[in-house]
Structure 1
Amino acid sequence: MNSIFLIQLALMICSLLLTAGIIIYLKQQMQLIILPIEHVGQKLAHPLLEQPSPIHMNDLLQTNRTQQLLIFTDTACPHCIPSLEQFLETKKQRKLNVSLSILLKNGQKKDQELYRDNETNLRIIPVDEQLINAFQIQEFPFYIMVEDNDTISYAAPFPDGLYSRLAAN
């Protein structure tokens, strides 16, 4: 009877030690993954946010529009088209007034006719790696709002924060 009790006690102590060891290991692994507490809830801002645009919009787009939304995409990006379609649908539903230009990495002349219509006021412009690097684009799609004074007021890989900034028609 005593031996059974001692075996049970030894098994409980072993499982407690094993559980404590697993918790310590997972805690160490989580510290490698999770940002320190001072960064929780913060996003790293794009380096050009609230800075002058590296390219003058008149030179890039040959237009004098006051506000331009640049949507950087890549022909190799599988989720760029769905993201763009969702943005265009939201723009249409909310009747948002914004001039759009798609800056298409690896684009061809034939790509300029994609999404061309009178409602969206949208242009597709093939761009090279040099322009992508000038705007410091690291992922696609990427949305950049350039104001009339050529200052970048919005820069993110998703348009969610734009909706409250855009005026309705």
Structure 2
Amino acid sequence: MTSILLLQLTLIVCSLLLTIGIMIYLKHEMDLIILPVHHVGQKLVHPLLEKPSPIQMNDLLQNNHKQQLLIFTDTACPHCIPSLEQFLETKKQRELDIPFSILLKNGKEEDQELYRDNQTNMRIISVDEQMTNIFQIEEFPYYIMVEEDETISYAAPFPDGLYSRLFEK
């Protein structure tokens, strides 16, 4: 009877040690496979975020709005028009009062008509590669919010994070 009990205890201890060993091994393997959380799905923060705008907004836009959302697009970008349409629909649904301008890279007169609609008074400004380089834009579309004091408070290739910031104010 004692030998059976001792055998059962030995088997239980061996199973526990084997389970712990397997868990440690799997954890080590997962650490090798999966990047740390601060790398997963994240890009580096835009270098101009929370810094002064590289150019005066009055020089670029010829207006004196408090805030200004700059939407950088490119005529060769297949995602720009759908992204802009989604932005306009969200702006309308949430009744956001935010002045914005579309900075159309390599835009020509006929390209600007792609972005026009009858309900929104969109300001479309043709810009060259030099302007996109000044704002360090590497992908399109790209949304940059410039505050009244001309600091950049938001910079991302999508406007989703911008909506929550606008509601906080």
- What TM-score, normalized to structure 1? 0.73
Residue 113 of structure 1: how far off its partner (Å)? 4.4
Equivalent position of 2:58 in the other structure: 58
| CA shift in 2, pair 1:38/1:52, >3 Å | same
Root mean square deviation, CA, Å: 2.7
Equivalent position of 1:39 in the other structure: 39
The residue type paired with residue 132 of structure 2 is I
| CA shift in 2, pair 1:38/1:141, >3 Å | closer
| CA shift in 2, pair 1:85/1:41, >3 Å | closer
Equivalent position of 1:10 in the other structure: none
Is contact 1:143–1:158 with CA below 8 Å preserved after alignment? Answer: yes
Residue 121 of structure 1: how far off its partner (Å)? 3.8
Residue 166 of structure 1: how far off its partner (Å)? 2.1
Structure index of larger Rg: 2
SS of corresponding position for 2:125: strand
Per-residue deviation, residues 136-168 of structure 1 (Å, max 9, x unmatched): 000000000000111000000000001112259
| CA shift in 2, pair 1:104/1:65, >3 Å | same
Residue 55 of structure 1: how far off its partner (Å)? 1.0
Work out the CA distance in 1 between the residues paired with 2:38 and 2:124: 41
Is contact 1:97–1:166 with CA below 8 Å preserved after alignment? Answer: no
Any gaps of 5 or more consecutive residues in structure 1?
1-26
Work out the CA distance in 2 between the residues paired with 1:71 and 1:159: 9
Per-residue deviation, residues 50-87 of structure 1 (Å, max 9, x unmatched): 00000111000000011000000000000110000001
Equivalent position of 1:9 in the other structure: none
